[in-house]
Structures are given as structure tokens and as C-alpha cells.
Amino acid sequence: MFADILPSDPAAVAELRFEFRHGQTRLAHLHQKAPLRVLFPDAPEGDIPTAALVNTGGGLVGGDHLAVTAEAGPWARGLVVAQAAEKAYRSSGPDCVLNVTLRAESDSWLEWLPQETIVFQGARLRRTTRVEVAPQGRLLAGEILTFGRRARGESLTEGLLRDAWEIRRGDRLVWADALHLDGDLAEMLGHAAGFAGATACATAIYVADDAPNRLELARELLSEAGEVRCAATVVNGILILRWLAPDTAPLRTSFAAFWSAFRVAVAALPGKLPRLWYV
């Protein structure tokens, strides 16, 4: 089941699978290879099993090759959250490659809840998130990017950032998207037809049979975004949301508010994110 993640052997691996057994969701598979670790904090009463993904190396450097896989079997429900913001450090030349595979099988619910990835000046990051959702399966996933260390006044002028998504329903590719920044990053990030000076962006997707019917709900939940620019749309049955902001803090606030309210409305889950999100 996990053999097709990557064509070559990654240096760091985290694989986990939730399954529904004896009336509740349980961890059925766990494989981890340093510096990736998976911890299992107690979920609040009424919430679903939670896995916390930890990079004990402290960040991503040129030449790193990491692979993360999270699966929810039939009727299982699970949430995977990042333990902290990820940092992509300056590279002397090699790319850092991160591959994420998410699978939600029939009648399952899987959440992939990030914290921000901070892209340092001169970093070279290639991340691909592959999503597979079976009929009657449901998945809510996202990513947040911060361009440079804003507290230090750092802006991105050079480096490489490729952040790609591939979503399949059954065996059919239904949505593919890639952000590719290379060369003069300052011009791309500052251009009015691009990021217009924004220093943070985010994406969230909801993949489920009822995703097209949730568009109005999503737009209502985004209506109080303030200085954050955000929008929602449906493409090939996939609900897609985007955020742009001049700073990460208000974007995080808007992103968390949407995520909390959406999981209440769609999955009847508590309207509060894991405690790790607020640490």
C-alpha cells in the first residue's frame, strides 16, 4: 500500500493509517524514520484521533528528501496536524524535496492541518501533495506559505519554490495545480498580477461528494477576513479556497476561523483546532 509513494528511497519517512475497528478509529499502521516523528496527543473530548507530525531536524535544508503519508480507512476519522511551523533554510545549491500523500477511503474523514512553511531567502523547496479520495470519502487539507522571515525584515529575492497539488477521485486526476517561483522572486511576489506584495498565502481544499454544495457556506465563512484577501471556488467538484495577506498573523487567524467553523458545519466536529495550533 505504501510502496508507490516515491520512485527513490527518501531519507526521512512518516507513514500512518487510521482504521475503524471495534466501534472506534484506531491507529493501524505507523512507520517513521528520523528526522520525522509522529506523536499522538490526547484529542479533546468529542474530537477525533489526532496525530502530530514533528521534524526533529528543526527544518528543511538543501538535499533533504522527505515523504509523509496519511491514510484513513473505511469509516475511520483522523486529523494530522503539524507540531510547529516548518522552516525551509537557505540552500547552497541542492533542492529540498517533500512529498505528501493523503488517502481517504470510502466513508472516511481525514484532515491535514498545516502550520506555515517559512521560506528563507535562498531556499530551494519542491513540495508535492498527492490526494486520493474514494467515493463517499471526505478530506479537508491545506497549506500555508510565508515568504521570508518577516520579523527580521527579510524578503525573498532568490531561490526556488514549487508547491504542487494533485487530486484524484478513484483513478481519475480531477485537479492539478502548481505554484512555481524561480529567478527574480522579488518581481514575481511584488507584481500586481501576482502576489501584489503579499508575504503569506494559503490554500485549503475540501474533497467529497458534497463539496460543490458547500461553496456558499465557504464564502460565508470567509466574509469576515478583514485585511486578508480570500476567495472560494469549485473546480471539477473540488472546493478550493485561497488566502493572501501582507502578514502571516492575520492570515493564520482567518485560516483557523474558517477551518474551525467548516469542520463544525460539515462533519459535526468541535469548532476548535488542536492545542498545538495555538502554542
34 is written with which cell numbers? 528520523
Q: pLDDT band at residue 9, thresholds of 50, 70 and 90?
A: low
Whole-number pLDDT of residue 44 = 87
Average pLDDT of 151-176?
A: 90
Percent of the chain with pLDDT over 70: 95
- The C-alpha R_g of the chain, in whole angstroms, comes to 18
Q: pTM of the predicted model, to two decimals?
A: 0.93
Per DSSP, what are the bridge partners of residue 90?
Answer: 123
Q: Which of 104-108, 131-135, 186-190 has the lowest mean pLDDT?
A: 186-190
CA pair distance 83, 85, nearest whole angstrom? 7
Pairing of the two strands 12-21 and 65-72? parallel
Q: Which of 4-13, 176-185, 192-201, 237-246 has the lowest mean pLDDT?
A: 4-13
Q: How many residues does the chain have?
A: 279
pLDDT digits (tens, 9 = 90+) for 119-153: 999 999 999 999 999 999 999 999 999 998 877 77
CA triple 10-16-22, angle to 5 deg: 160
CA pair distance 217, 203, nearest whole angstrom? 17
CA pair distance 219, 208, nearest whole angstrom? 17
Sign of the alpha-carbon dihedral angle for 190, 196, 201, 205: negative
Residues 6+ apart with CB under 8 A from 46: 269, 270
Report whether pLDDT(4) > 60: no
Count Cβ atoms below 10 Å from residue 160 Cβ, excluding itself.
Answer: 20
Average pLDDT of 182-200?
A: 88
Burial 236-254 (b: 16+ CB within 10 A, else e): eebbbbebbbbebebbbeb
pLDDT digits (tens, 9 = 90+) for 64-77: 999 999 999 999 99
**Which of 5, 25, 26 is CA-nearest to residue 15?**
5
pLDDT digits (tens, 9 = 90+) for 237-260: 999 999 999 999 999 999 999 999
Contact in structure between 55 and 86 (CB atoms under 8 Å): yes
Instruction: Identify the residue whose cell numbers are 516548518.
Output: 86
Side chain identity at 65, as an amino acid letter? Answer: H
Whole-number pLDDT of residue 73 = 98
SS3 content of the chain, % helix, strand, coil (to 5): 15, 45, 35
Whole-number pLDDT of residue 8 = 55
CA pair distance 109, 48, nearest whole angstrom? 10
Whole-number pLDDT of residue 150 = 76
Side chain identity at 237, as an amino acid letter? Answer: G
